[in-house]
């Protein structure tokens, strides 16, 4: 990071000890530096950004791995507090106070330009102030402008339209303080064990995790300075409010529910128009049971004889084999019955198994069966022979359950 003076790097004017609070001044200064350092065509930001915020002790770090898995990211989260690890910044953090916006914005923008974050990044702890929110808005405007500028060029793949999710984990003050102090006790025991055995790594122990009053002050700073900033994201980005009071599994369910796919807003408009005629899996599943019942009833009413033959084949040929695989929950049944040359019979079989709680799929394989041999030339003539291999899946038996 370039430094013209210590005062400037700390987010202050050379002639004053007052922190710069003009978002546009901070952003323009930072952007100009990025243009100079990287070059206009190298300003390639993540396709997806998840802004992970929340109260102290709400579980941002605990749930990060789950969010990464849910969105298919391959990179570690960007933890803002870890970027700001200089001694003078650590003093402010230990007091439960916030560091300068200019420092945060400068460090963060440079970090997310790294190649590893190109597809997506989680920003743990950003934004925390109104100024940071405004800088974020201006960044998104710039990324969108780059997307438009390079949209019809060979570089279009590097300047995709960004998707921004704001995820806020919330707990009440009592829960926050309790979790902060619990974390402090756990880290203290861990560090003591590392010191005693020489095995493992010392973890950062915040002052606010040891002192109830400091933990309360940290929560109040969040409510007074960060909460409003996070709320202001609601009007422009995907906003996800997560009640984090419950246990980990409950919070994970809440997060997963909030992060359901929103293709009409995430995809490029041309891509979405190409795909929109294909129904979503969720749309198919909603009425799947009702549609299955309709099909089965129609088989009985409109194709009764054929339906009866398929049921008889299942009972005679399939179920003895399926029953023998009750423990594994998976069986393969081969059939050369001509009835399956009719696609409707295959549909009937799959629907019958589905209604009875199984999952079935079929592979159709062509085999060449020698039919006759020309004694003079030795040429062998073969006839086509279709074999149907049915894969039947179901929940197997755990023979050791209860032992």
- Read out DSSP for 268-314? -HHHHHHHTTSPPHHHHHHTHHHHHHHHHHHHHHHSHHHHHHHHHHI
E strand or H helix at 143, and its extent?
helix 130-149
Helix, coil or strand: residue 328: coil
Question: Hey, is 225 helix, strand or coil?
Answer: helix
For every residue of 44-82, DSSP letters joined together read ---SEEEEEEE-TTS-HHHHHHHHHHHHT--S--EEHHH
In angstroms, rounded to a whole number, what is the distance separating the alpha carbons of residues 233 and 237?
Answer: 6
- Note down pLDDT in tens along the chain; length 403 residues: 333 333 333 334 333 344 567 899 999 999 999 999 999 999 999 999 999 998 899 988 888 888 888 888 888 999 988 887 766 667 666 666 656 888 889 989 999 999 999 989 999 989 988 999 999 999 999 999 999 999 889 999 899 888 898 999 988 999 999 999 999 999 999 999 999 999 989 988 888 889 999 999 999 988 888 888 888 888 888 888 888 888 888 888 888 877 765 555 566 656 766 776 777 666 676 668 778 988 999 999 999 999 999 999 999 999 999 999 999 999 999 999 999 999 999 999 999 999 999 999 999 988 777 878 888 888 888 888 889 999 999 988 765 554 4
The domain defined by 286-393 folds into Translation Initiation Factor IF3 (3.30.110)
Whole-angstrom distance, CA of residue 383 vs CA of residue 273: 46
In whole angstroms, what is the distance from residue 187 CA to residue 181 CA?
10
Query: What is the total residue count of the chain?
Result: 403
59: left (phi over 0), alpha (psi -120 to 50) or beta: left
Query: Which tokens in the block code for residue 276?
Result: 């929109």
Give, as one character, the DSSP assignment of residue 169.
E
The CATH class given to the 6-278 domain equals: alpha beta
Residue ranges covered by each domain of the chain: 6-278, 286-393
- pTM of the predicted structure, to 2 decimals: 0.60
User: 380: number of CA atoms within 13 Å, CB side?
Assistant: 6
The overall longest dimension of the chain from CA atoms, in Å, is 106
């Amino acid at each position: 990071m370039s430094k013209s003076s210590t005062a400037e790097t700390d987010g202050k004017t050379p002639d004053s000890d007052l922190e710069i609070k003009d978002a546009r001044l901070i952003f323009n200064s930072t952007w100009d530096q990025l243009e100079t350092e990287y070059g206009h065509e190298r300003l390639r930001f993540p396709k997806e950004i998840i802004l992970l915020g929340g109260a102290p002790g709400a579980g941002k770090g605990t749930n990060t791995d789950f969010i990464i898995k849910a969105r298919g990211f391959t990179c570690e989260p960007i933890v803002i507090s870890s970027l700001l690890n200089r001694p003078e910044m650590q003093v402010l953090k230990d007091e439960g106070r916030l560091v300068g916006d200019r420092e945060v914005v400068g460090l963060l923008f440079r970090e997310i330009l790294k190649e590893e974050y190109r597809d997506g990044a989680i920003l743990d702890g950003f934004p925390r102030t109104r100024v940071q929110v405004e800088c974020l808005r201006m960044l998104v405007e710039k990324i969108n402008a780059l997307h438009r500028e390079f949209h019809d060029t060979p570089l279009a793949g590097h300047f995709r339209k960004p998707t921004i999710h704001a995820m806020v984990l919330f707990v009440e003050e009592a829960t926050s303080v309790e979790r902060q102090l619990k974390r402090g006790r756990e880290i203290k025991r861990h560090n003591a064990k590392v010191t005693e055995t020489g095995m493992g790594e010392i973890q950062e122990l915040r002052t606010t995790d040891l002192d109830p009053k400091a933990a309360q002050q940290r929560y109040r700073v969040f409510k007074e300075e960060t909460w409003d900033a996070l709320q202001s994201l609601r009007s422009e980005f995907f906003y996800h409010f997560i009640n984090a009071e419950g246990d980990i599994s409950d919070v994970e369910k809440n997060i997963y529910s909030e992060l359901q796919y929103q293709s009409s807003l995430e995809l490029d408009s041309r891509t979405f128009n190409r795909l929109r005629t294909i129904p979503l899996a969720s749309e198919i599943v909603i009425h799947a049971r009702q549609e299955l019942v309709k099909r089965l009833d129609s088989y009985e009413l409109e194709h009764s004889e054929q339906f009866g033959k398929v049921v008889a084949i299942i009972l005679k040929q399939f179920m003895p084999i399926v029953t023998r695989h009750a423990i594994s929950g998976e069986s393969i049944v081969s059939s050369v019955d001509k009835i399956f040359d009719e696609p409707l019979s295959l549909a009937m079989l799959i629907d019958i198994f589905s209604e009875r709680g199984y999952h079935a799929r079929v592979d159709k394989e062509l085999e060449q069966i020698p039919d006759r041999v020309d004694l003079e030339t030795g040429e062998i003539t073969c006839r086509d022979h279709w074999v149907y291999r049915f894969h039947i899946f179901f929940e197997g038996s755990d023979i050791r359950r209860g032992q």
